Structure 1
Amino acid sequence: MTSLAAKRVAGGGGMPAGILRATLLAAAVVASCTWPPRWAAADVALGRMFGDHMVLQCEQPFRIWGSADPGEEVVVSIAGQRAGAKADGFGRWLVELPAQPPGGPHELVATGRTAARCSDVLFGEVWLGSGQSNMVWILTSTQDGQRENEAADFPLIRTFTVGERPNDQPQLEPPTNAFNGPSEWRVCGPRKMGWTSAVAYFFARELHRELDRPVGIIISASNGTRIEPWSRSVTVPVGPELSDVPPSEYGTLYNGMIHPVMPLAKRGVIWYQGEGNVGDGMKYAARMRALISGWRAASAEPAMPFYFVHLAPLNWGGKPVDELPKLWEAQTAALAEPGTGMIVTNDIGNTGDAHPRNKRDVGIRLARLALQHTYGREDIAADSPLYDVMRVDNAAVRVRFRNAGRGLRTRDGGPPRRFSVAGADRQFVPAEARIEGDEVVVWSEKVPDPVAVRFAWHQTAVHNLVNDVDLPAAPFRTDAW
């Protein structure tokens, strides 16, 4: 993966302010009937994403928006920088200010005939965490969650949880309340993070520890959701990828919970979803590509990093045992989208629970993807082994992996498990395997002429194959049968 560090950490990128204003205000017209009633007053107001204790993205130009009387001149100031704008006919205004170094605290002030203020504002790293219940899952319900909550003394980490509110039209403001209280910026402190997304917290904590700068994490997730409602309706895939999903199912969660966040400058996105789409197979890959491209377009950040979680093994009961592996295959295929990364969780799941309690390693692995690929940390290896190519070698098959590091190994010191091979008859049988550097040699006496290999191709398959930094290999198949 090409490192985004040179462009993004240096504060490059972005879009000219005029184009950004036009983009946001065009969306405002679409959503004008749902503009928050409190903004109908004459007082100058900042948008709901802005508040005390917030984090603004450092080292990138950033946007501030709000409302005032139509035609009113508004001046925004922070950290010695000022920018002005005139409210449009709907009373909406937006300014863009130059990139700032990490640090603070600062006061953010928007002044017209009246003034609106936010105190204790920091510049740091801002990320968006989204998905379904495994992203929602709160800290105190995880492994060692009570102890982690007691020890959460990181005042430079700030969180903002978006309330759950689907909508038929794009909204400019997030819901007022979330499941864990008002939608507002919160300072991380001991015994204060229990009802916060565990994955988001551990991700932010790892970034903060490694980068030594403030981190803001915006959590916009909803239990039991499919991917389609999270996608912008204007980026709905066409053709067979859409054939089994009505267009009306697209965009509702994006409209209510993601669109209001998109204009806010951010470093990237972490995504934990897919359980709701088990059974979709490779169609899910097209839907992921549509979601990623749509969110990047809405953020005016065409290369915005997008890191996601490869689901853990799970006994799905009545479902065919290969439906989850087919979703894994689609998740891996989504890595073809530039600027993406995937963590594999085969080793930290629970085949009897759709909500594995080890969220700490999930968050840390996502953070390490960001540290390596977004922040340019060459000392960190964050990618799991992925299938590269196979070749038949007499009665065996040699399977080569990418991201093997200094060589593959097994976690328990035994031979690699959960490989199978098939001949032209397409009948897979369990195979023996041994490691040779970045390759695994696979064979079975029952298949003298192998043509295909599968690895961990079962919904409950937990394997032992890892790279030199103990990251598990992703399941795969070489056939398309």
Structure 2
Amino acid sequence: MQRFRLFAFGMACLAALPASAELKLPAIFSDNMVLQRDANINVWGTAEPGSEVTVSVIPPSKPLPFEGNERGAGDQWVASGKVTADSEGRFSVEMLPKEDIPATSWVLDVRDSAGNHVKFENVLFGDVWVCSGQSNMQWSVGQAKDAKQEISDAKYPKLRLFHVKRTTSGEPLDDVTGTWEECSPESVRGFSAVGYYFGRQLHQDLDRPIGLIHTSWGGTPSEAWTSPKTVASEPEFNSVVKYWDQLVAKYEEQLAAGGSPKALRNQSRPSYLYNAMVHPLIPFSIKGVIWYQGEANARRAYNYRTIFPAMISDWRENWGQGDFPFLFVQLANFMQRKDAPSESAWAELREAQTMTLEELPNTGMATIIDIGEARDIHPKNKQDVGKRLALAARKIAYGEDIVHSGPTFESFEADGATAKIKFENTGSGLMKHGDKLSGFAVAQGDGQFVFADATIFDSNTVRVEAPEGSGVESIDAIRYAWADNPAATLYNREGLPAVPFRTDDRKGVTEGK
């Protein structure tokens, strides 16, 4: 009983003392983090209102970088900065790090003049990539091809993983749930397979630390990942906004009574994932983004021509780091293969993805039209997806002179029932996989498309011919791999598949929906 009285008295004395605000940083700052090596270091959080906050990156052997107001670590410093917390205790520091920082462990040290102090250890400088999208980005290493062996081999201490816990919000949040971990068999099992294989490839190719921030949610459309400002200002989002407005009206009485209907917390609601799983990461400095999404927008594929580049521009504007590289995966082949050419919402969405390359700078695309699975929307081969994204990164983000894409359509010339198609990105030359070059279809005027006979004419040209009896006497339009699950057999000799295309501009099956 006496011990309880003393404890209670002590607690009462503590309660009578003036409260001191806790020095706190968002979860994206933790032990084992990776800081972007060639960009300003942005550090933010909350502290005692009006206190002076000192932030520094120092060697582990220099735990006290400041003696009063004087720098104490000399030329061993990487970066430092000071700022005064505002009346609500918020602070934000931007520091320009030194050049040529060794790939050794550092400490991020943060303290305020009220006597509060936090530090994060085992910090590396490297390249930070955000990995986002829907289920094919969410798909874990443990669910993918060769999982047992891949998990066992995942021992890369300078490859760091941050997994954002899935949640939704109607308002922009300040923090996420997650922590940085070294890549190990224990940490990689539940991590994004595409993200991991992409990061591992870069880590091996570039020989530098790589940080991966995984924030994805299966079955979600791009509008859920777009900020409220862009959703409100872009007309192509109107139909989706109208749907959700009607749903809110349906639950008006329940909302007025203080309820929170589960249907309105849905992860597909416009901006709800941006608010909860992207906004809290900004302005953490990054190298770029990899994105695997589109399946959930296929029923409105034509609109993806607008809403996808709008989302990319939205992220770039809000992050405030310029036109950082944004690399994405084109939809894989999926569903039953058809015997005759037909319209396809999936082909239409792939076209919208390809158009984004032309519309926005510093974008790259990994075409995987050859490694999907007809009966599974989640193809298990994520290794090649990661490798192809890494090729795009090396070209777009790192400026290497490499072949990073499969053949892409350039032009065609028709002579009656035959035509020659010229391609770019042919690398060492065109080649076919299998016994027959297939996947090409031709049409006359607005007539029906028919499959064409195709042969490789030279290193960057394919010759197609309408079959006898097809009714096509003059080729006016050509399509390649225009189907849900096309027989796509054209590659360059670097082993990358040709990008699907069409030369006509007929109204799509999902236009305006």
The alpha-carbon distance between structure 1 residues 239 and 186, as it changes in their structure 2 partners (threshold 3 A), is closer
Counterpart amino acid of residue 303 in structure 1: D
Judging changes above 3 Å, is the alpha-carbon distance between structure 1 residues 236 and 443 closer, same or farther for their aligned structure 2 residues?
Answer: same
Conserved in 2, the CA contact under 8 Å of 1:411 and 1:470? Answer: no
User: Does structure 1 residue 455 correspond to structure 2 residue 477?
Assistant: no
Mapping of 1:143-158 within 5 angstroms? 143-158=145-160
Residues 373-392 of structure 1 mapped to structure 2, 5 A cutoff: 373-378=396-401, 380-392=402-414
3-state SS in 2 of match to 1:244: helix
CA distance in 2, matches of 1:269, 1:257: 14
Matched, 1:431 2:431: no
Q: How far has the Cα of 1:237 moved from its partner? A: 7.4
1:140 maps to which residue? Answer: 142
Give 2:437's match in structure 1, choosing from 411, 416, 427.
416
TM-score by length of 1: 0.86
Match of 1:407 in 2: 429
**Aligned to 1:96, which of 74, 94, 97?**
94
| Alignment match, 2:290 | 270
Q: CA deviation at 1:191?
A: 4.1
How much has 1:273 moved relative to structure 2?
A: 0.2
* C-alpha deviation, 1:250, in angstroms: 2.3
Aligned-pair distance for 1:104? 2.4
Equivalent in the alignment of 1:30: none
Write the letter of the residue equivalent to 1:220: T
Q: Report the CA distance between 1:315 and its aligned residue.
A: 1.1
How many angstroms does 1:434 deviate by?
Answer: 1.1
Deviates more, 1:150-159 or 1:443-452: 443-452
One-letter code aligned to 1:314: F
Alpha-carbon distance in 2 for matches of 1:169, 1:479: 43
The one-letter amino acid paired with 1:305 is: P
- 1:415 deviates by 3.6
Q: Give the CA deviation at 1:238.
A: 5.5
1:461 Cα deviation (Å)?
0.9
Find the residue that maps to 2:208 and give its secondary structure.
Answer: coil
The residue identity in structure 2 corresponding to 1:403 is: N
Deviation at 1:102, TM superposition (A): 5.0
1:293–1:109 CA distance, 2 compared to 1 (3 A): same
Distance in 2, matches of 1:467 and 1:322, equals 25
Segments ≥4 residues shifted beyond 4 Å: 237-240
User: What is the CA deviation profile of residues 416-458 of structure 1, one whole-angstrom value per residue up to 9, with x for unaligned ones?
Assistant: 2011111125111111011122121111133111111111111
1:152–1:239 Cα change, 3 Å: closer
Q: Which has the larger Rg? A: 2
Letter in structure 2 aligned against 1:99: P
Aligned-partner Cα distance in 2 for 1:227–1:455:
26
Aligned to 1:107: 107
In structure 1, the residue matched to 2:40 is 61
Match of 2:362? 339
1:47 aligns with 2:26: yes
Distance in 2, matches of 1:129 and 1:294, equals 16
Give the structure 1 partner of residue 374 of structure 2: 351
Q: 1:43 to 1:469 in 2, by over 3 A?
A: same
Q: Which piece of structure 1 moves more, 77-86 or 233-242?
A: 233-242
- Per-residue CA shift, 1:394-417, capped at 9, x if unaligned? 3212222221112211122x3420
2:490 is the counterpart of 1:465: yes
Structure 2 SS opposite 1:49? coil
Residue 225 of structure 1: aligned partner: 220
- Which has the larger helix fraction? 2
Percent identity over paired residues: 39
How far has the Cα of 1:190 moved from its partner?
3.1
Q: Which residue of 2 aligns with 1:195?
A: 190
The Cα of 1:266 is off from its aligned counterpart by 0.4
Q: Distance in 2 between matches of 1:211 and 1:345?
A: 24
SS in 1 for 2:125: strand
Q: Structure 2 vs 1, CA of residues 388 and 241 (structure 1 numbering), >3 Å: closer, same or farther?
A: farther
Among residues 388, 391, 397, which one is paired with 1:368 in the alignment? 391
CA distance in 1, matches of 2:450, 2:379: 30
Deviation, 1:371, is: 1.1
Question: Given the two structures, how large is their TM-score scaled by the length of structure 2?
Answer: 0.81
Which residue of the partner structure matches residue 12 of structure 1?
Answer: none
SS of the equivalent of 1:155 reads strand
- Aligned pair count reads 432
Deviation at 1:41, TM superposition (A): 6.0
Question: Which whole-Å CA distance do the structure 2 matches of 1:282 and 1:393 have between them?
Answer: 32
- 8 A Cα contact 2:407 2:423, kept in partner: yes
- Pick from 321, 325, 328: which aligns with 2:347? 325
Q: Root-mean-square deviation (CA), in Å?
A: 1.9
Q: Per-residue deviation at 1:240?
A: 5.8
Question: Is structure 2 residue 216 aligned with structure 1 residue 245?
Answer: no
Q: Which residue of 1 aligns with 2:71?
A: none
Whole-Å Cα distance in 1 between the matches of residues 238 and 270 of structure 2? 13
Q: Offset of 1:103 from its aligned partner?
A: 1.6
- Tell me which residue corresponds to 2:62: none
- Which moved further from structure 2: 247-256 or 463-472? 247-256
Task: Name which of 313, 333, 346 aligns with 2:333.
Answer: 313
Residue in 2 that maps onto 1:212: 207
1:143–1:374 Cα change, 3 Å = same
Contact 1:46–1:110 at 8 Å: present in 2 too? no
2:219 corresponds to which letter in structure 1? G
